[in-house]
Chains A and B, each alone.
Chain A
């Protein structure tokens, strides 16, 4: 929701980033205030996941220009773990499998690390087990996933739910959900969307990266941004996604200026 006078959580200005000498992000500007839900859409390869990973601090990308502030912090100065501890969360498009690390052990370590950072109580394995099982119920997740290795052998949809479970546990200020709807069946989509809606409140914010209007039927965005080859070319309200659905990206390319003018 758009809240009057709410504070700015994320302020991205002129952000450029390259990988192996190839520039992928070519000047991104984005402002996210608390309470808001943003959607980022765009063709395959337009740089959406790159933006997400750059914000989370992936070391493979070189930042060549621009600034990113997260609340009062210079985000680009922080190590990935410090970004997470400051309240940034990225649900990965392709969550990685970590054989040998039990999901429950990993979830508890992550939870306790964040709790300690916030000066809150850490949970021992038994307490955590009760706590995490409650959260899993909300997401309609089978508790068997606790005993398995992190994401190992999880189906595509199960991996996505495990990401949202982590979001629910860590209660971030800003969540970036990279294609959380891909690979989810329609029931799972509703469950997960419902989870996102429950977590969203006036003090936090969410960025949804998606290709489909369907997700936005369940999690309604305040802003929709369209990315093209490394920059945000168009920003509008939720109707922009609907328009895009019927007209396609060619329409965006052909009419960037006039649409922007019409929206402004």
Chain B
């Protein structure tokens, strides 16, 4: 891949960038300007970059996807099937643009949710203190691009000591082809709050487009958040996502992320346990087939003592698909009594499928418990035979076993309608796979 092409792609984007003159907030414009500066000094990663060695995004650079323009013809009935019945609050973004008509939200007094403009005047200082603080873009060109081109944001502020039982649905719908959208989310859990949200990327058609998203999550002392992330983009899409999480003292972050769609997807999740006794549980499942590539890079950074992290990542890979998992665990010198476990389990359903999994432990404290393990395997012939010996066809047996492998992760999703949808998706996708 030639770097000139890559530079052209960025040049194109750089040329299309402009400060929005009607923007009332200078700090936001400054942030954008800083981000675009970073874009101009960087290049797109290639397979020569260690962090991207398995993920070739050169196809992306041959296209010049300009920013999506607002598109408003979508009606609520067109997306009825996408709403979650448990979610009374949903924020819907179409090609990156907030749609108040499609969104539903109630009782903003308890939970403060909305898009950027809802909050800019009322919560300017809170926003300023969090925005762009966690998702660093100095060496991440996609986060820099997202920040430079950001025009809106899904915001959730869970006020102090409030528990919000129903999940909040953040729904990002792609409707256009050959465009780039820049979804952005900011979730602020004030101390002692408890919130569940679903970050959901869907497409209404089989089109090629780029989603470049950034999510920032900040939990104050003893706050809890459950983050469910579903990537079900079109099979031709490019999905490049960054999520940064900051965990204060005694806070608890649980995330389940499921990758099903996109031709190429890359999810970077960086969790920092910035104070004592913070806890996180990170679960991931990639279920891919045909020529898909799903790359998950996570980093769990224990900075202070007594932190707990548990991670389980699974990949189910069929046909010629390729899954990548890179899980970094950092335990810094002061982070004594850290307890961390990581497991990467992978299922190959065809001889041409590929998996690259790499745990990466960087431990600088001596009094810690860290366990990790990685396995790559196929469906167990004895298990298949057992099921067949009870009358199940070979195809059913394979589908059931594949499903069972993924179900361990899906079962951790606390929103039951979503869990059922995904169970069905997995069963459909795994039906009749052959080795």
CB distance from A227 to the nearest CB of B (A): 21
Chain B residues closer than 8 Å to A81, beta-carbon distance: 388-389, 391-394
Nearest A residue (CB) for B411 = A100
Binds A, one of B38-46, B132-140, B170-178, B402-410: B402-410
Q: Which of B389, B392, B394, B401 has the most CB of A within 10 A?
A: B389
Q: Does chain B have a CB within 8 A of A43? A: no
Q: Does chain B have a CB within 8 A of A80? A: yes
Check if B389 sits within 8 Å of A84, measured CB to CB.
Answer: yes
Q: Does chain A have a CB within 8 A of B31? A: no
Q: Does chain A have a CB within 8 A of B168? A: no
Q: Does chain B have a CB within 8 A of A92? A: yes
Chain B residues closer than 8 Å to A99, beta-carbon distance: 404, 408
Q: Does chain B have a CB within 8 A of A57? A: yes
**With A100-B408, A101-B400 as given contacts, are A59 and B385 in contact (CB-CB < 8 Å)?**
yes
Q: Which of B383, B389, B404, B408 contacts A56 (CB 8 A)?
A: B389
Q: Does chain B have a CB within 8 A of A90? A: yes
Nearest B residue (CB) for A113 = B391
In the bound complex, CA of A48 to CA of B407 (Å): 37
Q: Does chain A have a CB within 8 A of B381? A: yes
Check if B390 sits within 8 Å of A170, measured CB to CB.
Answer: yes
B side interface size, CB within 8 A: 22
CB distance from B431 to the nearest CB of A (A): 14
Q: Does chain A have a CB within 8 A of B163? A: no
**B window 377-421: CB within 8 A of A:** 380-383, 385-394, 396, 400-401, 403-405, 407-408
CB distance from B429 to the nearest CB of A (A): 16
Nearest B residue (CB) for A109 = B392
Q: Which of A60, A81, A109 has the most CB of B within 10 A?
A: A81
Check if A80 sits within 8 Å of B389, measured CB to CB.
Answer: yes
Q: Which of A60, A96, A100 contacts B405 (CB 8 A)?
A: A100
In the bound complex, CA of A158 to CA of B369 (Å): 35
Chain B residues closer than 8 Å to A96, beta-carbon distance: 380, 382-383, 386
> What are the 6 A-B residue pairs with the smallest beta carbon separation, nearest first?
A100-B404, A80-B388, A110-B390, A84-B391, A113-B391, A81-B388
- Name 14 A/B residue pairs within 8 A (Cβ), A-sorted: A79-B388, A81-B392, A83-B389, A84-B388, A84-B389, A90-B389, A98-B386, A100-B404, A101-B400, A101-B401, A109-B392, A113-B392, A113-B396, A117-B391
